[in-house]
Structure 1
Amino acid sequence: MTVLRRSLLVLALLSASAAGAAGERAGEFDYYVLALSWSPNWCARDGDARDSDQCEVGLGHGWTLHGLWPQLARGYPSYCQTASAPPSRAMTARMADIMGSAGLAWHQWKKHGSCTGLSAADYFALSREASERVTRPTVFRSLDRAVRLPAAVVEEAFLKANPDLVADGLTVTCRDGYIQEVRVCLSRELEPQVCGPDVIRDCTATDALFTPIR
């Protein structure tokens, strides 16, 4: 093999590797994870320090949509190569009512929505539909002060409010001593399903902090 041919082969291999590293193939996944974040806790941990508009008193954000994430049996795709155009500012702004901010909507499209094989408009529509399918327990909105509680109480409340869900189909996460999120596993048709083993990582805290609606 000549030096020129070897050089061309190396360049071709490097180009292929770079393309693969840029993102995985859109549309190749097994199910969805719907992530719901308790906004007051996020604000206490991170949002206040960022002076986030989401944390303004009086907005009343509770369980906000963090994202709808395509999931593999193990692991998940992210930052996929897609022919779909990115969302417009108007499109992400319309998601702020359930996500807290347009910036989060943009990030979720870039990292997760790009892997669904959907257009940005269809991804956000599906995200809204998935969010609306999960009933939020009303008990948490009635809190008037911060409390400490077992993470299992949050899971039980969601199971009671959503009889079609099963214990292995959702998980509660904690971060920095706070209840962080409830993650619900849904099929590609948005039907409840059992989560993969890498998603079921229930918080075992018995005294996690839960702060009230602002």
Structure 2
Amino acid sequence: MHRYYGIAAFVGLMIAAGLMIFLQDPIVPSWDVGDTPAVIVQAAPKPVPAPAEGTKPLPIGQGFDFYVLSLSWSPSYCLSDEGEGNQQQCGSSKAFGLIVHGLWPQYEKGYPESCASDQPDRVPDNLGQHYLDIMPSMGLMGHEWRKHGTCSGLSQADYFRVTRAAFEKLKIPDTLQQPEIRQTMSPDGLEQQFVAANPGLSTKAMSVTCDGERLEEVRICMTTDLTFRACEEVDRKSCQRSSITIPPVAN
């Protein structure tokens, strides 16, 4: 009898030992032996930053066919009776060359003017002060907004923003970069200088106008997204003189 008790006790010990080993070293799937699978964590998508002011899409005007960027030769204007009384633009301390007369919405024939608008008639100082370097008169800004800007389909702020973009699109030839001496040349010659300085511009997309014998304005035709384009009606209004004088910029 004692012999059977001994055998039973021995078997019990063996079973208990096997159970302990099982609990300490459990069986795992073959793919997990010695190399647990990596956990894939996806990073959260980075937010897209808002565009900076200079990279905002250009506002596109509506209700017309193209723009005329009209640039006035300030020294000629300041020699006129009207210019003599304009202290913002003219005077011994002023040294403006080509300034923006206006950005004019045009039809293929003719142009709109003084359109109905929900914007104020007056250009506020806190807006206009940002454009005095290219349009050196608050009175000029107000006039251009009321007559032409109201027909652009744009707000005041967007209209003047597009006006600056149009001005900066154009490269001014060296001839008109603050010249200190009086110059004489043909209107066609001046147009060719603009064409040479601006890839994509042709003489059919511009005109040079004169006030008597003096250079008055340079007018450039642009699409609503400010690409140079031909404009027959504007081109026909070029000065017909064989030569014009370009008064020097005052110092």
TM > 0.5 fold call: yes
Count of paired positions:
189
1 CA distance for matches of 2:128 and 2:248?
27
| Match of residue 80, structure 2, among 45, 56, 59 | 45
Q: Determine whether 1:101 maps to 2:165.
A: no
| Match of residue 79, structure 1, among 96, 114, 128 | 114
2 CA distance for matches of 1:150 and 1:131?
23
**Deviation at residue 153 of structure 1 after TM alignment:** 1.8
Q: State the 4+ residue runs in structure 1 displaced beyond 3 angstroms.
A: none
Larger gyration radius, structure 1 or structure 2: 2
3-state SS of 1:96 partner: coil
The amino acid across from 2:207 in the alignment is T
1:8-36 Cα deviation digits (max 9, x unpaired): xxxxxxxxxxxxxxxxxx94211000001
1:115-154 Cα deviation digits (max 9, x unpaired): 0110000000000000100001122236332233211121
**Deviation at residue 198 of structure 1 after TM alignment:** 4.7
* 1:3 aligned residue: none
Give the unaligned 5+ runs of structure 2.
Answer: 1-60
Quickly say closer, same or farther: Cα 1:51–1:70, change in 2 above 3 A.
Answer: closer
* 1:165 aligned residue: 201
Give % identity. Answer: 34
Q: TM-score, with normalisation over the residues of structure 2?
A: 0.70
Quickly say closer, same or farther: Cα 1:159–1:205, change in 2 above 3 A.
Answer: same
In the alignment, is the contact (CA less than 8 A) between 1:93 and 1:101 conserved in 2? no
3-state SS of 2:69 partner: strand
2 CA distance for matches of 1:156 and 1:83?
41
The amino acid across from 1:55 in the alignment is C
Q: Determine whether 1:147 maps to 2:183.
A: yes
The amino acid across from 1:69 in the alignment is W
Q: Determine whether 1:62 maps to 2:128.
A: no
Structure with the larger helix share: 1
**Deviation at residue 48 of structure 1 after TM alignment:** 4.3
Give the unaligned 5+ runs of structure 1.
Answer: 1-25
The amino acid across from 2:159 in the alignment is Y
Q: Determine whether 1:156 maps to 2:192.
A: yes
